[in-house]
Amino acid sequence: MSIAARVNTLVDRVIEEERITGAVVLVYRDGEPILEKAAGFADREAGAPASLDTIFRYASVTKPIVAVTALVMIEKGLLKLDDRVSQYLPWFRPKAPDGREGTITIHHLLTHTSGLLYDPALELLPEAQRMTLGLGNTDLSLEENFSRHNAIPLAFAPGRRWGYSFATDILGGVLGAVHGGSLEDAVVHHVAGPLGMADARFHVTDPTRLAVAYADHPVRPVRMPDPWVSADEENWRTVFSPARIFNPKAFQSGGAGMAGTAQDFLLLLEMLRAGGGSLLSPDMARAALSNQIGDIEGEPGYRFTVVGGLITDATAAMTALPKGVIQWGGVYGNTWFIDPAERLTVVSLTNNALEGCNGAYPEMLRAAVYDR
């Protein structure tokens, strides 16, 4: 059975089982489609089917787009990897654990080695100190929200280890400041516009094509309440607000704030896989998919690039993906990977949190691609 047949069968099955409500799955080899499939419902209650141009909330699929924007701006000479964040955002000066100001650089933000963390406790602080981490609704600006971290020590000294975080939100603030305007202005000017990513924005370009968000439930996914607070098997607490994307007062979250189509995101991944095209030099595109954290402490079986996790030991990473693959996702229900050796790029966007990202489905999809 071919990759296309295996993936097609799997997607039909998870839709029939109601594990997944709506999905768009793209499987490309050498830039050519092996499979382009839309299945299930963008809005189950209205009977509206998912289609290839359905717009999904990206969540952390936003991060690689913002990271690539930074790389493009670096190659244009607009900023440097070793620049201090405080040069551009003088209001952001959190302290290291030893009490001294943490010297956070652009490289630290890109590689999640800054000492910042996605700490659920930050969303449980008293109201005057509370931060939203990019998915919950807010009327606060980026500065109003994250300047509150100045009173909270970093989890570790910058560069000491890897810790997944809202660092890309701070990076987004830097890019907006350097470009002169909003983060969306920078992303569209440097990346989304040149690549033709027509719907990849921090607002919804066409609300009639936006998929309804669904939340996991023991019986079947339910239309996501607003707000919705999830807790996964490790008690990782996440605050969601489907309405956030429509709130013009909410800061543009570089870590979680975009929406767009599967094809939009595939254009970005294919540009990286193919060597940068007209957007990045071959060396920078190669660096974007390479280990950028060295041997410091990180996730078992993984190193981190600037766009996702690089598989170094599939057994330790507990995945069907082979060594050398770069993968990540987005907690609203998305997963993706690039296999440079096999010249494969796979994007799966669903409207199911957390199943489409952190549930069983992503690994089922990976196993189907590799017939494992």
Measure CA 178 to chain center.
Answer: 22
Label residues 336-355 b or e (16+ Cβ within 10 Å = b). Answer: bbbbbeeebbbbbbbbbbbb
On whether the CB atoms of residues 154 and 50 are closer than 8 A, the answer is: no
What is the token pair recorded at 94? 């959190």
d(C-alpha 215, C-alpha 88), whole Å: 38
**Do the beta carbons of residue 358 and residue 232 sit within 8 Å?**
yes
DSSP three-state, residue 345: strand
CA proximity to 201, closest of 214, 183, 213:
183
- Is 2 among the catalytic positions? no
The CA distance from 247 to 172, in Å, is 18
Question: DSSP of 308-343, one letter per residue?
Answer: SEEES-HHHHT-SSPTT-EEEEETTTEEEEEETTTT
What is the end-to-end Cα distance of the chain in Å, rounded? 12
Both tokens assigned to 21: 């409500």
Residues forming beta bridges with residue 330, ordered by sequence position: 334
Closest listed residue to residue 251, CA positions, set 138, 147, 151 = 138
Give the distance from CA 359 to its chain's centroid. 16
Tokens of 145: 């929200």
Dihedral over Cα of 61, 7, 323, 319: its sign:
positive
Calpha distance 322→102 (Å, rounded)? 36
Q: Count Cβ neighbours within 10 Å for each residue of 293-310 and write b for 16 or more, e otherwise.
A: beeeebeebbbbbbbbbb
- Point out the catalytic residue in the list 60, 241, 253, 348: 60
Catalytic residues: 60
